[in-house]
Structure 1
Amino acid sequence: MNESFEPAWPNIAVMTASAAERFADRTAIVDGAERTSYAELYAEARRFGAALVAAGVEPRDRVGIWAPNGRDWIVALLGLYQAGATLVPVNTRFKGQEAADILRRAKVKVLVTVTEFLGNDYVAMLTGSGASLPDLRTIVIARGEQSDPGETWAGFMARGTDDGLAEVDRRRAALGPDDPSDVLFTSGTTGTPKGVLMTHRRAMGVGADWVAMAGLTADDRYVLVNPFFHMFGFKGGILACVAAGAAMLPQPVLDVDRVLGQVAEEGVTVLPGPPALYHSILEHADRDRYDLTSLRVAVTGAADIPVELIRRVREELPFSMIVAGYGLTEAGTATSTSPDDDPETIATTVGRPRPGFEIRIADAAGADVAPGEVGEIVLRGPTTMVGYLDDPAATEAVLSADGWLRTGDLGRLDESGCLRIAGRSKDMFIVGGFNAYPAEIEAMLLEHPGVRQVAVIGVPDERLGQVGMAFVVPRSPALDGAGVIAWCRERMANYKVPRFVELIDELPLTESGKVRKNALEARAAGRPG
């Protein structure tokens, strides 16, 4: 870790108190008809913290949030820090057994959840799983019908007393920058999710760096599409906004009509999101009906940002700043392009290391590869994780004693020092001895005028070991797989050309916008030979 890095506040709880002083009357949250100022947000956060004290939560105890983006999520997050607790967010797509596994492993004592979201009752799902959760004492229902077990949000908030408020003030003062702040579990799309342990110093560092990267100020109005259980939505969203005093407009689901309406009605200036968000806006039939001129900043990030998508955002939407970045749960935002980069750099790279970060490209043995060659991205920086929760072996496998993190992502550094992503190491496949990188092939396929979206995986082949298979979302019914393959043969080295193309209506995505390659692999395994 970079020892010169020092956040502006000793902890997130103090950062929240500071925001209430500096931005007291400014709007903190717009959620439907509800508008909350920073002074009101801090008062509610303190009350929530006092209620946690009454519920028996001690400093460093863990509080879970299993709910969609919304006002209550933000209050609960900032409130649990007032009590000195540690956040454990749960993926809103998880089923009862998956959520129970996270809560059990993290020893969560209080869970904030909902009983109505996209037809799901999370309390019923949890109790129906039959899982034993000996540490879970209290379930708070932020939204939806009251359930048993569980108590209402209002009832829980009423637990806060003057003595509890005095206690949270003591805990806020005692909380240090190296105390635990959160345990975010990895997506688990390729295996059992691992809990990434972070500290207040590191979490605030991600938020503060995001403020610097986007030029975020108290005049900004930020639509929060990225889910709060994800690093981007939580740290690049909530914590960045609180640090800068910006207004937060949380979105429970990706509803492009609602987003476009809010941009026009609220004068939204900052609209980060996964590639799928910008793609949906660009393809929206009535986009021209909305006044989008207030938009200032676009930030997107993934291991495989489509090149053509960035080009279209630059050309067709009114953003004055478009940033492509690369980050991960275990490290926060590691690289980004700069506002003054030329269009080609923004379109084809994820930029240079963020302040305090170092990037290496290594081979399987950990040695640096030759300049320009593809290898595993290895990085070190001020917001790299402490380690995986209760898993020293997994931690040791990816994090060296001197702070270098093996990301599992593949990339190369170009002649200008910019990072170009080649994909996940587990996604790379070998065709007759040649390494094939899905992200590279996908970027080329997106230049096909009939291809709307695409994902490439490797599938077994008797002669070559593996070959590529492309899942394509077409722009029109006229597209056919044989034509796509013929188009590729004219533009790609033979080993990169997909041998199979399947046309599908939509790609399977995680809630954070990543393609679920394991779902595509399962689909490919069931195809006719």
Structure 2
Amino acid sequence: MSADRPWLQSYPKGVPATIDVNQYTSIPAILQGALDRFADRPAFENLGKVLTYREIDTLSASFGAYLIHDLKLKKGDRVAIMLPNVLQYPIALFGALRAGLTVVNTNPMYTARELKHQLVDSGASAILVLDNFAKVVSDVLPDTPVRYVITTGIGDMLGFPKGAIVNFMLRHVKKVVPDYRIAHAVRFRDALARGAKNTLPPVDIRHEDIAFLQYTGGTTGVAKGAMLTHANLIANMQQAGAWLGTGLALGEESIITALPLYHIFALTANCLVFVNIGGLNHLITNPRDMPGFVKALSERRFTAITGVNTLFNGLLNTPGFDKLDFSPLKMSLGGGMAVQRAVAERWKKVTGSTLVEAYGLTETSPAACMNPLDLAEYNGSIGLPISSTECCVMDEEFRQLPQGEVGELCVRGPQVMAGYWQRPEETAKVITADGWLHTGDMAKMDASGFFYIVDRKKDMILVSGFNVYPNEIEDVVAQMPGILEVAAVGVPDDKSGEAVKIVVVKKDPSLTAEAIKAYCRQELTGYKQPRYVEFRSELPKSNVGKILRRELRDSATAAKVETAAH
């Protein structure tokens, strides 16, 4: 078996070659086991308020009952959750899943254009949104199929008087809650109270039922919903659980959850996997406030932390972080973007914990490869294919290449998505008839079965772990009056790994870089906005007229006409 799967020889002791996805019927079946087994253990903490597994069980059942009895939602209906990391998120998530509904995770920072596309494309019937972002929902609501809106404030689950004070401060002192009007919107706490009057009925949920529509970009630039089934997530929970089980103890771990739970990395690795092992999730609502983040860490005992390279780098460069007590820390897991050697080595020096890199995609629920938790030092690898997962490197003719040669990384396993929502042609482009998912990443494998990412085949830009697709940027910028042509590329950036740069050919000679950026601020989420604008008289093109982005990338560092973002 190890002849064609050399990674098995490098597996940590106790990690099985395969997992049994048939062990559980659905995500709620796994969750219910954890909710029962760890009932009196703390499950989620946010801003000093702790909810136990028993409380999460009761509250999520109430929310699920509300969705079924009051809103009359049926199995398979889509519910959008537009929240940062607050206690309402796991309650709503588990409630929707237990009700047999499909969760549409929605970035709270979306612009109206981005939000409208996702709600229309998914056919969402209901949305739960934080007050801070409800104005955007109110702006697009008439143009979407959404029939029900549930709103909530950051302080709503923090208890009295703290919750009321937090909500008052945010709305009236800090003024971060814009005025909005949504007729017939229901408050989250009212929804829970109504749901508590009914019981959550049993719902027959099967492996093939869709648990999440997890939106991701693509080479077309149109955000597509990856259909992640209950079987996909069950598999990835078991795969990650088997791997983490080599170093973590049931009912004793606590993890820092700073990455947003609407992102597939934190959703699976932090929320689902750690709930299954009875861990405590410390939810960090605003990790961008680095001094506040470090203060929060100083007040919490944590045994695990996940993040992207930029998060670890930010912490390392924040005063006071190096003074924290890292003696309980067992696991530092990096993913979402490449971990830089300089950051990994400094992390080990400051915390004593090896920054272990993992690799995954939205389309793989997300974990595909992971380094052993007992890794002594950062090794520059994305790790080994996890249990029941095959990885290979293919050439342009889809032939498997031998060890050491560079080609496209392909993944096959039970965690690979069912396809893209209502896009069979797009699905066929990335998943072969025999189940191989083409990742678009160029990689190689060594003799021990460790894989290394060499380059990206796609033109995708990776900003702080978030995918940015050039076509989307170009489509938006091209609609601005005064622009003749535009190309978007990624350029190296110390803070975010990569930043967006656009190269523009003007139609209007008076057009300025600042005017373009102001336009983009209206149309694009922050991480998608161009940091740099370069003007040229023409763009490099192939003989068939295709813009040569790679040529633009290669010359980006030498470009003279750049304007840094404010």
Tell me which interval the TM-score lies in, with the shorter structure as reference length: 0.7 to 0.9
- Give the counterpart letter for 1:309 in structure 2: V
2:147 corresponds to: 137
Match of 1:70 among 75, 86, 91: 86
1:186 aligned partner: 216
Give the residue type in structure 1 aligned to 2:151: I
Q: Distance in 1 between matches of 2:527 and 2:182?
A: 34
The answer as to 2:324 corresponding to 1:308 is no
User: Is 1:123 the equivalent of 2:123?
Assistant: no
Q: 1:367 aligns with which of 399, 418, 429?
A: 399
Q: How does 1:155-194 map to 2 (within 5 A)?
A: 155-160=190-195, 162=197, 164-165=198-199, 168-171=200-203, 174-187=204-217, 191-194=221-224
Deviation of residue 524 (structure 1)? Answer: 4.5
Written as runs of structure 1 = structure 2, the 5 A alignment for 1:120-519 is 122-129=133-140, 132-134=143-145, 136-143=146-153, 147-149=181-183, 150-160=185-195, 162=197, 164-165=198-199, 168-171=200-203, 174-187=204-217, 191-215=221-245, 216=248, 217-254=250-287, 255-319=289-353, 322-331=355-364, 332-343=366-377, 346-427=378-459, 471-473=492-494, 519=530
Q: In the alignment, is residue 111 of structure 1 matched against residue 127 of structure 2?
A: yes
Instruction: Give the drift of 1:392.
Output: 0.1
SS in 2 for 1:127: helix
Matched with 2:473 is none
Is residue 263–residue 291 contact of structure 1 (8 Å, CA) maintained in 2? no
- The separation in 1 between residues aligned to 2:535 and 2:452, in whole angstroms, is 30
The amino acid across from 2:362 in the alignment is T
> Is 2:21–2:234's contact at 8 Å kept on the other side of the alignment?
no
For the 8 Å contact 1:185–1:196, the answer to whether it is kept is: yes
1:313-364: CA deviation from partner (whole Å, max 9, x where unpaired): 2222132x54211100001211111134452xx3311111111111111122
Are 2:46 and 1:31 aligned?
Answer: yes
Indicate conservation of the 8 Å contact 2:316/2:322, yes or no. Answer: no
Find the residue that maps to 1:348 and give its secondary structure: coil
**Preserved CA contact (<8 Å) 1:62 1:86:** yes
Q: Does the CA contact (< 8 Å) of 1:66 and 1:89 recur in 2?
A: yes
Question: CA separation in 2, counterparts of 1:357 and 1:38?
Answer: 31
* Gap regions ≥5 residues in structure 2: 1-16, 154-166, 168-176, 463-469, 471-488, 496-524, 537-558, 562-566
Say whether residues 1:47 and 2:62 are aligned partners: yes
> Within 2, Cα distance between the matches of 1:337 and 1:352?
6
Deviation at 1:147, TM superposition (A): 4.3
Give, in whole Å, the separation in 2 of the partners of 1:290 and 1:423: 36
Using the alignment, how far apart are the partners of 1:288 and 1:3 within structure 2?
A: 40
Partner of 2:8: none
Question: Counterparts of 2:103 and 2:152 in 1: how far apart (Å)?
Answer: 16
* Contact 1:185-1:194 at 8 Å conserved across structures: yes
Give, in whole Å, the separation in 2 of the partners of 1:339 and 1:470: 31
For 1:446, the equivalent position in structure 2 comes to: none
8 A Cα contact 1:372 1:412, kept in partner: yes
What is the distance in 1 between the residues matched to 2:382 and 2:527? 21
Greater alpha carbon shift after TM alignment, 353-362 vs 210-219:
210-219
SS of the residue aligned with 1:314? helix
Structure 2 CA distance for partners of 1:517 and 1:370, relative to 1, 3 Å: farther
Matched to 2:187, the amino acid is T
- Deviation, structure 1 residue 114: 1.0
Q: 1:156 to 1:358 in 2, by over 3 A?
A: same
Distance verdict in 2 for CA 1:472–1:349, change over 3 Å? same
User: Per the alignment, do residues 28 and 95 of structure 1 end up closer, same or farther by CA in structure 2, a change over 3 Å counting?
Assistant: same
CA shift digits 1:440-493 (9 cap, x unpaired): xxxxxxxxxxxxxxxxx9xxxxxxxxxx9964549xxxxxxxxxxxxxxxxxxx
SS at structure 2 position matched to 1:219: coil
Letter in 2 for 1:123: A
The Cα shift of 1:515 comes to 12
Secondary structure in 2 matching 1:40:
helix
Could you tell me which residue of structure 2 aligns to residue 6 of structure 1?
21
Per-residue deviation, 1:10: 1.7
Q: Distance in 2 between matches of 1:233 and 1:220?
A: 16
SS at match of 1:271: strand
| Alpha-carbon distance in 1 for matches of 2:141, 2:42 | 42
Computed over aligned residues only, the root mean square deviation of the Cα atoms, in angstroms, reads: 3.0
Shift of 1:227: 1.2
| Residues 287 and 518 of structure 1: CA distance in aligned 2, closer, same or farther (over 3 Å) | closer
Q: Deviations over 1:209-259 (max 9, x none)?
A: 223323343111111111111111111111012111101111122133344
Partner SS for 2:202: helix
Q: Distance in 1 between matches of 2:491 and 2:151?
A: 43
Cα distance, 1:130–1:50 mapped onto 2, change above 3 Å: closer
**Distance of 2:395 and 2:527 partners within structure 1:** 26
CA positional deviation for 1:100: 1.5
Deviations 1:77-115 (A, max 9, x none): 000012111100111221122111101111111101012
Q: Give the number of equivalent residue pairs.
A: 441
How far off its partner does 1:260 sit? 3.0
3-state SS of paired residue (1:48): helix
Q: Is the 8 A contact 1:15 1:242 kept in 2?
A: no
Which residue is equivalent to 1:85? Answer: 101
* Paired position in structure 2 for 1:461: none
